[in-house]
Amino acid sequence: METSPHLSPAEASVKHPRIVTARRMGVLSLAIVVVVGAFFVRLVDIQVVRAAELSDESTQFRTQEATLWAERGQIVDRTGQALAHNADRYDVTARPCTSPTSGETAKPSP
């Protein structure tokens, strides 16, 4: 190994700091690109490839059907006389988009 006239043999064997820094930056940049690429692939998998499946699965975990019976008291005036009484009422609710005859109008029965 030939040394320059102004460097000792020990100094000549040490790598230049700019070369070491450039290699480290290259390795670090490559590692960052690999990690960001892995996140991007995972994001596409979740948002595009399996979106419908994951949406259905999350809906099953979030929703629950239950009938809750409200316990209500009577409404009375200051003398204790009932102004409103409790009575069972049954409400029927329909969504037109789920009815078997969607798009048709209801006809009154004779």
- pTM score, whole prediction: 0.41
Report the distance separating Cα 48 and Cα 51, nearest Å.
Answer: 5
| φ and ψ of 82, to 5 deg | -70, 125
What is the overall mean pLDDT for the chain? 78
Beta bridge partners of 75: 84
User: Per DSSP, which regions of the chain are E strands?
Assistant: 75-76, 82-84
Going by pLDDT thresholds of 50, 70 and 90, the confidence category of residue 49 is: very high
Q: Cα angle vertex 60, ends 101, 100, to 5°?
A: 5
68-76 — which CB contacts under 8 Å span 24+ positions?
A: none
Tens digit of pLDDT for each residue in 53-95? 998 888 888 777 778 777 777 888 999 898 887 777 776 666 6
Going by pLDDT thresholds of 50, 70 and 90, the confidence category of residue 12 is: low
Question: Which residue did the predictor score with more confidence, 9 or 37?
Answer: 37
